[in-house]
Structure 1
Amino acid sequence: MIRLNHVSKIYHMGGEDIYALREASLRVRKGEFVSIVGPSGSGKSTMMNIIGCLDNSDEGEYLLDGESITNYSEKELAKVRNRKIGFVFQNFNLIPKMTAAQNVELPLIYQKLPSHERAERVKWALEQVKLYERREHLPAELSGGQQQRVAIARALAARPSLFLADEPTGALDSKTSREIMGIFKDLHEQGNTIVIITHDENVADEAERKIRIRDGQVSEVVES
């Protein structure tokens, strides 16, 4: 599903070339649950932006579902994001003035789905994360864990081929973090492809496969 071949991202600063990623290669197969783990400044965010079609690489090739998107325009990248990728962010990225249901529905409006189908998907997605009874609540009326559940439901409702989670437990306490990781495990058992970007080794260990990134370089973690 995901294939990065010798991908580099280079920033030009003060007459110098700074490699955020240096010839990074990785593979994620359909249905896998993979974590990409590394410290701050390791290149995790750059990796996420490229995998999530939020940015292009400067060198190498990126294939998503067998489709090379290395040279896509911003408009083309936006279409891929909307169609194939469900994002879950550390800070939830919910719209404060919208209810939980309205936040979940928003990407479906962008997909131009009819209202009856949007309503069915919103109900189903919120039921999956056990929050349908809180559908009329605003984000400020929900706990951090509940807000992250809404964010997961929003990703679910769009029926993406890939769930991409960036530090999904970073703003949560340990108990709530375990609950959120439990949801990701359930999604994986249902056949979904999940990639989690994290600095937390405990979170990374929850995945079935762990990839380490440091100084822009990627290596597979092989357990002894």
Structure 2
Amino acid sequence: MIKMTDVSKVYTIGSESLYALNHANLQIEDGEFVSIVGPSGSGKSTLMNIIGCLDVADSGEYILDGQAIESYSERELARIRNRKIGFIFQNFNLLGRLSALENVELPLVYQNVRGKDRRARAQEALARVGLTDRLDHRPSELSGGQQQRVAIARAMVTRPALILADEPTGNLDHRTGLEIMALFHEMHAAGNTIVLITHDGDVAGQAKRSIHILDGCVTEREVHV
């Protein structure tokens, strides 16, 4: 479970303090599919970074799986990111010198999974996203949709409970975006908690619930039938 209480993140520019998050409150249960919606500069990416333990709040409390994140060391936060959370980004963040298979294997390298097992799990993850015929292709040899599928496979390969996706369809055409969203529905059906960051109302509407954010404040919550 994710629970944030009065969470703030402040950046100081000169003599001015700017709130990227302003006393934000939210709760996401295990197994939910939630979208966080807001325009550019609303604070949604800052919120994702804190949820994903990529950043820490300046004040307030963040509880993940019953534990206060503020109590963890940097090393412990890195372990949480590697084992509990799968990240998917708008720009894919694939390593150009590595093949699709090697990109997906990479998180398992950090978990010290042995080569044979690592390769088998990466192949399985790529099969789930329909890329068994692209294992040896580098990112430059793949379409945008295929690159995002590799990124999704990389996020799934560690078998995390939580998937965080930041504008995962932002660089894709409409049809490819629908195909990628279908993969999120499959992950949700398999039991993953999905938190999807977007400014697109149509994409947000595919989640079971939306949390709206504006100027660093959580402004409303919307449940989709």
TM-score of the superposed pair, with normalisation by structure 2: 0.96
Instruction: Give deviations 1:117-152, integer Å, cap 9, x for gaps.
Output: 212211110110010111011111110000000000
Q: Distance in 1 between matches of 2:14 and 2:73?
A: 27
* Secondary structure in structure 2 of the residue aligned to 1:6: strand
Are the counterparts in 2 of residues 86 and 164 from structure 1 also a CA contact under 8 Å? yes
Q: Distance in 2 between matches of 1:30 and 1:132?
A: 30
State the match for 1:127 in structure 2: 127
Code of the aligned partner of 2:146: Q
Number of aligned residue pairs: give it: 224
Deviation, 1:72, is 3.1
Are the counterparts in 2 of residues 63 and 69 from structure 1 also a CA contact under 8 Å? yes
State the match for 1:170 in structure 2: 170
* Secondary structure in structure 1 of the residue aligned to 2:104: helix
Q: Distance in 2 between matches of 1:138 and 1:25?
A: 41
* Secondary structure in structure 2 of the residue aligned to 1:221: strand
State the match for 1:179 in structure 2: 179
> Residues 114 and 223 of structure 1: is their aligned pair in 2 closer, same or farther, counting only changes over 3 Å?
closer
Code of the aligned partner of 1:221: E
Q: Distance in 1 between matches of 2:121 and 2:41?
A: 38
Are the counterparts in 1 of residues 93 and 151 from structure 2 also a CA contact under 8 Å? yes
* Match status 1:75 vs 2:91: no
Instruction: Give deviations 1:77-121, integer Å, cap 9, x for gaps.
Output: 212111111000000000001000000000100110112221221
User: Quick check: 14-23 or 128-137, which moved more?
Assistant: 14-23
State the match for 1:13 in structure 2: 13
Are the counterparts in 1 of residues 33 and 193 from structure 2 also a CA contact under 8 Å? yes
Q: Distance in 1 between matches of 2:224 and 2:2?
A: 22
Query: Where in structure 2 are the equivalents of 1:1-224 lying within 5 Å?
Result: 1-218=1-218, 219-221=220-222
Are the counterparts in 2 of residues 24 and 216 from structure 1 also a CA contact under 8 Å? yes
Are the counterparts in 2 of residues 23 and 60 from structure 1 also a CA contact under 8 Å? yes
Code of the aligned partner of 2:212: R
Deviation, 1:222, is 5.1
Are the counterparts in 2 of residues 56 and 71 from structure 1 also a CA contact under 8 Å? no
Q: Distance in 1 between matches of 2:165 and 2:182?
A: 14
Q: Distance in 2 between matches of 1:208 and 1:66?
A: 23
Q: Distance in 2 between matches of 1:213 and 1:75?
A: 30
Q: Distance in 2 between matches of 1:167 and 1:46?
A: 13
Are the counterparts in 2 of residues 10 and 17 from structure 1 also a CA contact under 8 Å? yes
Deviation, 1:70, is 2.0
Instruction: Give deviations 1:37-90, integer Å, cap 9, x for gaps.
Output: 000110011101100111000111111111111243333221211111100000
Q: Distance in 1 between matches of 2:153 and 2:29?
A: 23
Unaligned runs of 5+ in 2: none
Instruction: Give deviations 1:172-218, integer Å, cap 9, x for gaps.
Output: 00010000000001111111110000111111001000000001111
Percent pairwise identity = 60
Code of the aligned partner of 2:5: N
